[in-house]
Chain A
Amino acid sequence: MANALALQAYYDAGGGAAWTAVGATEKAYFQAAGAFAYGSGGAIAVSAYNGGTHIIDAANAELCDTAHPSNIAYSVDATHYSKDGGASTLIDATHPAATECFRLYGTCSPNAEITACGVYVYGAAEANPPAGCTVLAVAPGVGAAWADIGGSAARMSLGTSVSAATHSKPFALTVTPSSNGAKTATLKGDMTFV
């Protein structure tokens, strides 16, 4: 009778590309383009956007060393994105594809419907946006433009779902720093079941 929620990323940790839960001590890491480099070596220039997306463990070692998650970044304007440094693409219901996004994944036993689902990032407190960087999100099929999801008041709805055993709610993230130095934030997702 327990329903559950996980954050998943689509990448290859050695056993083939698959949706993989981001574990409790793991995290997403956004860096500049190029090989994985934790810390200043991977720094994104001020006002630029992420050029690489990685999943790392508690020791900041890369987990996606066979194939990374797709890097989805803001491009040109709020209605376009670039995948892995490629051409600008218009955001629509299937772009970016679900497997190019993160997703909130709910499992229900017995079946249940999702009456609310959303995601936001916060800094020092849930009401506060992260300091020194802006995090934008887009949920293909729900919205068609990047939106700032900093702070609980900026939570992005990922929509509802009819009754089912599993519920997939994809969303893409892109980040841009407004100052130099390491940045941190907490990503929070929620799902309500009836």
Chain B
Amino acid sequence: MRPDTWTATLSDGRTFAEGDPALVGPRSPWRQLEALVAAEGLRITEATAILGGRQVTLEADGGTLVCGQAAEWTMPLDGRPGGHARYRWVCRQGEVEWLWRLTDGVRAWEIATTPGVRGQERMPSPPTGGEPCST
């Protein structure tokens, strides 16, 4: 089975992964981790999104980290096959910029966007091609 998860490090040094039993609850494991961090007065200092043979990491560096997934679906109407793409991403939400690192398991991208609305994160669509970014 190919790797398909995230890991996060907290300000007290503990590390969690998406499948951690401590994060089982009504919301996603990442949201459960955010609740745990808030309840204990901690911060998420580093997060890594892992898919297939690639992983992308960001440190908080004063911002707020969020990990998630995204999927894109296309249907050409001229007979060409449609396509599916799936990604894992980590986003550092700063005051003046949101920095995204995303991977489809083969390629990885780093994309900066203007800040959006927390809770309404929309992963930016990656450009054609893809360059390795820091892992």
- Nearest CB of chain B from residue A131's CB, rounded to whole Å: 12
6 closest pairs, A vs B, by CB?
A116-B122, A5-B71, A184-B78, A194-B68, A112-B28, A115-B121
13 additional A-B pairs beyond A113-B28, A185-B76, beta carbons within 8 Å, are A5-B71, A24-B81, A24-B82, A58-B81, A110-B24, A115-B121, A116-B121, A163-B27, A186-B76, A190-B71, A190-B73, A192-B70, A192-B123
CA distance A163 to B120 in the complex (A): 13
Q: Is A7 an interface residue (CB 8 A)?
A: yes
> Which chain B residues in 1-60 approach chain A with CB under 8 Å?
4-5, 18-19, 24, 26-31
Contact A2 B4 (CB under 8 A): yes
Cross-chain pairs A/B with CB under 8 angstroms, 19 sampled: A1-B19, A3-B71, A5-B73, A27-B82, A110-B28, A111-B26, A115-B122, A116-B123, A118-B122, A152-B125, A160-B119, A184-B77, A186-B74, A186-B76, A189-B72, A190-B72, A192-B122, A194-B30, A194-B31
Q: Is B96 an interface residue (CB 8 A)?
A: no
Contact A187 B77 (CB under 8 A): yes
